Amino acid sequence: MEKLIQVKNIHSGYHKKEVLKNISFEIEEGEFLGIIGPNGSGKSTLLRSLSRVLRPLKGNIYYKGSDLYAIALNQIARDFSFVAQDTQVNFPFSVWEIVLMGRIPYLSRLQPQSAADLKAAKESMSITDTLKLAGRQLNDLSAGEKQMVIIAKAIAQEPKVLFLDEPTSHLDIGHQVKILNLLKGLNRDKKITVAMVLHDLNLAAEYCDRLILLDNGSVYKSGPPGEVLTYENIEEVYKTLVIVNKNPVSGNPHILLARKNIP
Ligand code: ADP
Ligand code: MG
């Protein structure tokens, strides 16, 4: 079977400044993929490149076997949903209005939302437990509530692929787990392929089927968490000492910081 997304020798960056160097990998349909790496290693740049937000300087990306840039934009707008790291909304939209915006790729010009659009929006708010926030303004919500609403909007779009950039940073552990469990459930029940940048290595180990570890714009290692999150790989890429144990419940790697002796 054709891979869902194929990345072939891409170089990406900004104003000719190359950030990603010669990256190749594939994403399978139904996969739950994590992208990890130190600050500035190019994780967000890679996610933007995969999702057609940022056109690579060189190389090709294929979606369902076709060149990503040869596919009609409205098709990509339906199939791909992108949750950015810090969503800012500079207008007092209500939560309901924000979630309905997820349906924009399905509307033709000046056409009001259909019953199916309203149903998809309501359902996504029900799954994310945000119906109770419907009348509130997005900017008045807590970080955890806000992130749930942004994810509700992304789900209302009924995407095939969901890209998320550090969806759980700034959230407490309860909200981190709530969001990742929700994404895992969508991946399993609605067969949404998930590609996500994660900052927290332990969350990445616990939730992702496969990890891509970036180092300075290149893929340092890719594979299941047990193969990628070894102390050798982490120490080399993050330049810090760690101890890698096994999570006693899941058997996944569990990373502990090891403080160097302070002189
Ligand atoms: P990460 O998400 O891993 O922290 P990024 O992909 O955001 O890394 O950044 C990788 C490099 O690209 C950094 O050197 C950063 O300064 C640069 N960069 C990121 N976004 C932009 C941008 N919009 N314009 C110019 N340079 C950028
Ligand atoms: Mg980033």
CATH number of the domain where residue 37 is located: 3.40.50.300
For ligand 1, whether the C-beta of 12 sits within 6 Å is no
Give the mean pLDDT of 130-136. Answer: 96
The finding on whether 23 has its CB within 6 A of some atom of ligand 1 is no
Q: How far apart are CA 47 and CA 56, in angstroms?
A: 11
What whole-number distance in Å separates Cα of residue 215 and Cα of residue 39? 9
How many domains are contained in the chain?
Answer: 1
| Residue at 215 is within a domain | yes
Provide the residue range defining the domain that includes 238.
3-257
Residue that has been written with the tokens 């960056």 in this structure: 13
Ligand 1 lined by 42 (C-beta under 6 Å): yes
**238 in a structural domain:** yes
- Our mutation pick for probing the ligand 1 site, out of 44, 164, 199, 201, counting the most ligand atoms within 8 A of Cβ, is 44
For residue 62, what are its two tokens? 């294929």
Mean pLDDT of 58-69: 97
Q: Which range has the worst mean pLDDT, 13-22, 109-118, 173-182?
A: 109-118
Is 263 a member of any domain? no
* Residue of 16, 18, 19 to test ligand 1 pocket, by largest number of atoms within 8 Å of CB: 19
Greater pLDDT, 163 or 260: 163
- In the predicted structure, residue 6 carries a pLDDT above the cut 70: yes
Residue 117 lies in a domain: yes
Measured from the alpha carbon of residue 167, the closest ligand is 2
Pairwise CA distance, residues 184 & 207, whole Å: 7
| Whether the CB of 41 sits within 6 Å of ligand 1 | yes
Residue 184 counted as domain residue: yes
Q: Which ligand is nearest to the CA of 42?
A: 1
Check if 49 has its Cβ closer than 6 Å to any atom of ligand 1: no
Does 262 map to a domain?
A: no
Quote the pLDDT of residue 261. Answer: 61
Question: Ligand 1: does its nearest atom lie under 6 Å from the Cβ of 39?
Answer: yes
- β-strands 161-165, 253-257 pairing: unpaired
Q: Is residue 100 included in any domain, yes or no?
A: yes
DSSP 102: T
Report yes or no: 127 and 83 within 8 Å, Cβ to Cβ: no
Name the residue with the closest Cα to ligand 1, atom 20. Answer: 45
Q: Is 86 in the pocket of ligand 1 (CB under 6 A)?
A: no
Q: Which ligand is nearest to the CA of 23?
A: 1
Which of 134, 193, 201 is closest to 169 using CA atoms? 201
Say what the pLDDT of residue 42 is: 98
Amino acid letter, residue 216: N
Tell me how far apart the alpha carbons of residues 134 and 125 are, in angstroms, rounded to a whole number.
8
Contact partners, residue 98, CB within 8 Å, separation at least 6:
89, 138, 149, 150, 153
pLDDT tops 90 at residue 258: no
pLDDT at 170 over 90: no
197 within a domain of the structure (yes/no): yes
